[in-house]
Structure 1
């Protein structure tokens, strides 16, 4: 009796192992190179270009102030000997204060640009994640992994790489939505 139970137990465990193997083979998995997606996604490139233009526009007033300061500092060096040490000391203190003020303005501008850039990048990444989730569901994937900057895969066969497919569909969707926006802007 004990042998029969033991044989039955071994047979059940073998069957259970075979069922698990069958299930793991039927899983459909793929991976995406997330760094490549961000590098080649046309919407990200377009938004990045717009952000660079905005950054330059925001920086122009500060650049003008810096150039004026540099001209004034150069003028100070030329006039320091002519106007005497008391004038030089007073004017030097004023220039030092303005230099510190310009540095604070520059730091504030950089911080604002970093914050706005981060928000823009995060919104695009969130959009891409939602797209990949929907893409995975539509194509019947059980798992879609990510590689790139924050690698979660150390090795995978190239056959499982769907980066190009996802990138093509992302860019096609972006182009289609961009054309719709242009048409509505023309109608208005």
Structure 2
């Protein structure tokens, strides 16, 4: 019987390698060599023995690049790994669980998103516009967004009224 492939697609692998800049996210060292021997795409929420049928298991938000030594440490120091976001419980969503990653000799907390990007904001704090409607946005983000655009519209209206006044003055002078 053929072995079932339960890992990420080649496109997802490339997306994660690009997001992580081919750097181990735990120690910050460059990874090179052979996948599975020298480095791995670690599943933050483990697949389990025999894999899983949950498609989000292989989303970029659940995958992180680790060198072989850091991967062994993540698997052997599970309590610390859960605290740092390198492991996520089965009932938790990796996209909603921050991870402490190495970046330029420092550590910072980020969220890994399913679209292959990362950022400092919780997914509910991100605003996505689909079909002209806001998706995945908390009320505070929407309020801030509308306040920002209201200020921009007010400034544009004030500027436009100034242009109208200037045009009226120019028209009167020309007459």
Q: TM-score range by the shorter chain?
A: under 0.3
Question: Per residue, is there more helix in 1 or in 2?
Answer: 1
What TM-score do you get using the length of structure 2 for normalisation?
Answer: 0.24
Which of 1 and 2 has higher RCO (CA within 8 Å, sep 6+)? 1
State which structure, 1 or 2, has the greater radius of gyration over its C-alpha atoms. Answer: 1
Normalising to structure 1: TM-score of the pair?
Answer: 0.23
* Structure with a larger share of its residues in strand: 2
